[in-house]
């Protein structure tokens, strides 16, 4: 097995470990069966978004581009450039969505917000 394949194997095992750890932490709940928790009045939760999941993907591509590079180059540009584009686009999109949500929340009472 060459160094590049070994690096990708380590990267894949690391990703599986982190995902397993996140699943283990998020799945251990102390809720009673059938009880649905409700946030206290005034707490606003954001709607679901895929953008926080895209940021780590962009980061993985960035670091893979820096790690798995040809010997005479600074980086593997076929991994680094798409990683930078995905990372920056997801940050900009998430900030714009949060700003849009903030403006919508300020313009109407709490009880009329989506999800209530």
User: Quick check: is 42 in a domain?
Assistant: no
Average confidence (pLDDT) over 39-55: 73
* 24 in any annotated domain: no
Residue linked to tokens 């999800």? 115
pLDDT tens, position by position, 59-104: 999 889 888 888 888 888 899 899 999 999 988 888 888 777 777 7
| Spatial distance between the Cα atoms of 18 and 4, rounded to a whole number of angstroms | 21
Tell me if residue 33 falls in helix, strand or coil. coil
Total structural domains in the chain?
1
Average pLDDT over residues 46-50: 77
Do the Cβ atoms of 61 and 80 come closer than 8 Å?
A: yes
Average of per-residue pLDDT across 4-28: 79
Q: Is 83 exposed, middle or buried (0-12, 13-18, 19+ CB in 10 A)?
A: buried
Residue 42: pLDDT over 80: no
- Spatial distance between the Cα atoms of 5 and 105, rounded to a whole number of angstroms: 49
Residue 36 has pLDDT above 90, yes or no: no
- Structural domain including 76 reads 48-109
Residue 87 lies inside a defined structural domain of this protein = yes
| Residue appearing with tokens 């059938």 | 34
């Amino acid at each position: 097995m060459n160094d590049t394949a070994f690096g990708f194997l380590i990267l894949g095992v690391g990703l599986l470990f982190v995902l397993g750890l996140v699943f283990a932490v998020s799945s251990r709940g102390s809720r009673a069966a059938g009880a649905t928790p409700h946030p206290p009045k005034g707490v606003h939760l954001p709607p679901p978004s895929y953008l926080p999941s895209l940021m780590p993907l962009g980061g993985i591509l960035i670091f893979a581009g820096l790690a798995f590079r040809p010997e005479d180059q600074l980086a593997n540009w076929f991994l680094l450039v798409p990683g930078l584009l995905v990372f920056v686009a997801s940050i900009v999109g998430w900030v714009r969505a949060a700003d849009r949500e903030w403006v919508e929340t300020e313009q109407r009472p709490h009880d009329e917000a989506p999800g209530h």
